[in-house]
Amino acid sequence: MKIHNFSAGPCILPQEVFKEASESLLNFDNLGLSVIEISHRSKSFVAVMDEAVALTKELLNVPDTHEVIFLQGGASMQFAMVAYNLLTKNGKAQYLDTGAWASKAFKEADGLGQAEVIASSKSSNYNYIPKDYVIDEGADYFHCTSNNTIYGTQIKNFPNTRVPVVCDMSSDIFSRTIDVNAFDLIYAGAQKNLGPAGATLVIVRKSALGNSGRYIPTMLDYNTHISKGSMFNTPPVFSVYVSMLTLRWLKSNGGVEAISKRNDEKANLLYQEIDRNSLFVGTAAAEDRSTMNACFLLKDEASHKEYFDQLINNSKISGINGHRSVGGYRASMYNAMDLDSVQALVACMQDLEKNYS
C-alpha cells in the first residue's frame, strides 16, 4: 500500500529520481564507481554541476544579471552570509518577521550590524503575513521569507521597492512562477522541492556584491564560490546530483508553470475540506494560506484526536503532525506529491466527521 508522505522536510521527492539516484550510488555514468566516490572535479561531476545550474536558470528564467551557485550549510548559513555580503558598515537592513526562520535570519544580521524588524505577526502566533509596512529606501536590503512551514503562511505578493530584496525561498522554490529580476538575492535549502538536505541554492545579482566595505571570511564570500563555479571546496555531491535529477523531472513535467497549477489543485482540495468540515479549523489567515504547508487543528482534540490519528495511520499517511512548537496537523504538499495523497487525507477527514461528530 502506498505511503502518503506529508513530511515538511526532508520530504517527498519523485520516485523516478530516487530510482535513478539509487542506481548511481553503485554505478554512476557507466564508470563502475559511485557518484559519491568520484572526484568532484572529474568531467562527470562537473557536467552534473553545470546541468544543475543550467536547469535552474532555464526553469526560473534567471536573467544574465544573476549568478547561480550551490553551497552548503543550509538556509541557516545564508542568514549570516547575506548580512556579511550585503550589509554595509554604516548601513542597515530591514526584516519582515513572519516566523521562526525569519526571526533567526534577523538575529544574524542584528549581530553583525544595524538591522531592524519593520513588521511582525509574532503577536498573532505568525498566522498572517504583515502587509502595511514601509521599507526605508535608504536600507541596504529588505529581507523576507516567502513561505513559513511551521505556521502555514506564504507571501502572495512581494513588495515593489527600489531597495534590494533578499528572500529565503527554502520551502517554495520551484513551486510557482517568480520574477527573479525582482530580487537581488534568493536562497533556498534543497530539502523541500529540490533534493536531499546538504545543498543550498543561491541566486544573486552580480552588482549586489563587493559593496559591503567589510572583511568577509573566505567561505562566507559569495564571490569566492562564484569564481570557482560552486567548487571552492568539495561540494555536497550527492545532494547536488539529486537536485539535478529533480530539476530534470520538473522540466519533463512541464516546468514551474505546470507544477504551480498542480500545487494549486492539491492545496485547494485540502483547504476546501478544512473549511467545510465541522471538526477542523485552519490556523492561517485565508488570504495568506500556504500552497506548500496547510496547517489545521481539530476543534475538539480531546474527543477526536485518537480516532483521527487511527484513521490516518490506517491510510498510511505519514508526517502529518504539526511542528512541535504549535501542535495540530500540517500537510506539506511539495512538488512531488500526487493528488491522490491529498485525496486520501481528505477522505480521512470526511470519515471522521461522518462517524465521530
List, by residue number, the catalytic residues: 101, 168, 192
Is there a contact between 174 and 59 (Cβ–Cβ < 8 Å)? Answer: yes
Q: Which helix or strand (DSSP H or E) is residue 201 part of?
A: strand 200-205
The cell for 336 is 512531488
Task: Find, among 194, 134, 118, 125, the residue nearest to 153 by Cα.
Answer: 125
Pairing of strands 66-71, 92-97: unpaired
> Which distant-in-sequence residues (6+ apart) come within 8 Å of 306 by Cβ?
none
What is the CB neighbour count within 10 angstroms for residue 142? 22
Residue type, 239: S
C-alpha–C-alpha distance, residues 177 and 219, integer Å: 31
Report d(CA 221, CA 226) in Å as an integer. Answer: 9
Q: Whole-angstrom Cα distance, residue 318 to residue 6?
A: 6
Spatial contact of 147 and 169, defined as CB atoms under 8 Å apart: yes
For residue 277, the SS3 value is coil
